[in-house]
Amino acid sequence: MVKINQRKSRDFQEIQSEEDILTMLKSKFSNRQLYIKYAIGKTEISINEFLSDNTLMLVTNAEYQNEGDTLIIYGLSEKYIEFDLEILEERGPGYFHCAVKGGRKALRGRRDLRFKVAPDDVVATNFRVSKHTIDVSAMNIPTSIKVVLEQFQSQNSKMSDVVRVEVFKHDDKERVLIQLKKTGKTLFVPDAADPESYKAMNEDFLDLAELYAKELPDVIKRNVERGYKSILVVPLIYITETVSSVPFAYIQLMSKSRQFTIDDVLEVKNHSFKLVDRIRDANTLLVPVHQRVMDISRGGAKLRITDRNLQKYILKSRGFIFDLVFKLQAPITIFGEVKVSYMDEEENLYLGVDFEGNSSRKNEMKRYYSILKPMETDYKTKLMKSMKNRQKESQQKQQ
């Protein structure tokens, strides 16, 4: 049995009555191709006849086998439209007697034309997937990542009198840590004895004078009594699979021997960027296998993943980086966000992915569009020819 995991929903408007649904099917799809949703591969289905009792006969590939007594079909008119059907009787291989149960129309039109591609037209390869899901919102950090943080602290222990690299906790109660985690701003106190140093230099820095207000003199006194001359805290900001920035840890320096300068701030920030890169590299697995691209558009693709090792990691992932390699072309690197996934009976994994953000290489998406444009034109020409042939055949049957 095929199990569908719909990760990204489409916004729909329900079609209210059975009469409206039948009218739409008769006016829009009598001579236009429909498809079976969630079928393995893009499976066409056609309306063969509208019956007097408001049921209909549909015909599809004789090899198609439906699971259960429901069927969802879809098509494109001005917008994407889905129809829910109940199978009353299967009168032969691929020949179904159905009743209409519901319908819905997408609120927005599909962004791009989607079409099938042959196995030798394009392949997906060089998948970069996360070994572990880093749930930074719950501060669920894998042990392997904590090891990287500990190594950094050990290797850079001479940067200041006190050097700490800590992960934010979900139950942090200290006001400074809460604000650092919430804002991702830098804490910089060049002179721990000077109240003016606790004010923010600009909007990129945390304003401790505002945060502590009347309690600031007590904070200054406590820092001076502990022998601190200068304090610097820089958050580590991780880019998640949904391409959002989340502070998950921090580098803290406290000096008892000198005052930090803006150069020290820039140096620690540079360390933080390199450390996040190390964490990402440590948590990334490269799988260089070639996998099939079933269909493609300017904004996404449907992939078939047969490699068991790759399946294991992709099923836990919200998205991943991979290369599209068109025939006689250099690879194009793209980030794909998983919007739907399902397994067939042979345990092949099918993914619907949206291409999100920019490619990691300059002008890659521009080159991708230039490669896709002639393929789109060719597909449209064949589609128009097919529709004209169907219309001609329908007219001949009616004569």
Q: Which CATH number goes with the domain that contains 344?
A: 2.40.10.220
**The pLDDT of residue 360:** 45
Q: Are residues 23 and 70 in the same domain?
A: yes
Q: Are residues 97 and 218 in the same domain?
A: no
Q: Are residues 293 and 374 in the same domain?
A: yes
Q: Which two tokens stand for residue 252?
A: 């803290």
Q: Flag whether 396 is in a domain.
A: no
**The pLDDT of residue 1:** 43
10-residue averages of pLDDT along the chain (399 residues): 50 82 85 80 84 91 86 81 90 91 75 79 91 63 82 90 88 85 92 94 92 93 94 85 73 94 93 86 86 89 92 84 90 86 86 68 76 83 73 62
**The dihedral sign for the CA sequence 217, 221, 223, 229:** positive
Q: Are residues 290 and 372 in the same domain?
A: yes
**The pLDDT of residue 136:** 56
**Length of the chain counted residue by residue:** 399
Question: How far is it, in rounded angstroms, from Cα 36 to Cα 27?
Answer: 19
Residue 103 backbone phi and psi in degrees, to 5: -160, 155
- Look up the domain containing 323 and give its range: 115-131+286-379
Which letter does DSSP use for residue 243 in this model?
S
Q: Flag whether 389 is in a domain.
A: no
Q: Flag whether 355 is in a domain.
A: yes
In this structure, are residues 342 and 302 in contact, taking their beta carbons and an 8 Å threshold?
no
Q: Are residues 55 and 86 in the same domain?
A: yes
Q: Are residues 308 and 272 in the same domain?
A: no
**The pLDDT of residue 188:** 95
Question: How far is it, in rounded angstroms, from Cα 239 to Cα 378?
Answer: 39
Q: Are residues 293 and 363 in the same domain?
A: yes
Q: Flag whether 387 is in a domain.
A: no
Q: In the chain, how many domains are there?
A: 3
For residue 309, the number of C-alpha atoms closer than 13 Å in the C-beta half-sphere is 10
**The pLDDT of residue 380:** 76
Q: Are residues 162 and 266 in the same domain?
A: yes
Q: Are residues 77 and 194 in the same domain?
A: no
Q: Are residues 347 and 333 in the same domain?
A: yes
**The pLDDT of residue 359:** 46
Last residue of a domain, one of 245, 267, 282: 282
Closest alpha carbon to 318 in 113, 147, 137: 137
Q: Are residues 119 and 95 in the same domain?
A: no
Looking up tokens 């989607």 gives 114
CATH, residue 228: 3.30.450.40
Q: Flag whether 228 is in a domain.
A: yes
Q: Are residues 202 and 101 in the same domain?
A: no
CATH, residue 15: 2.30.110
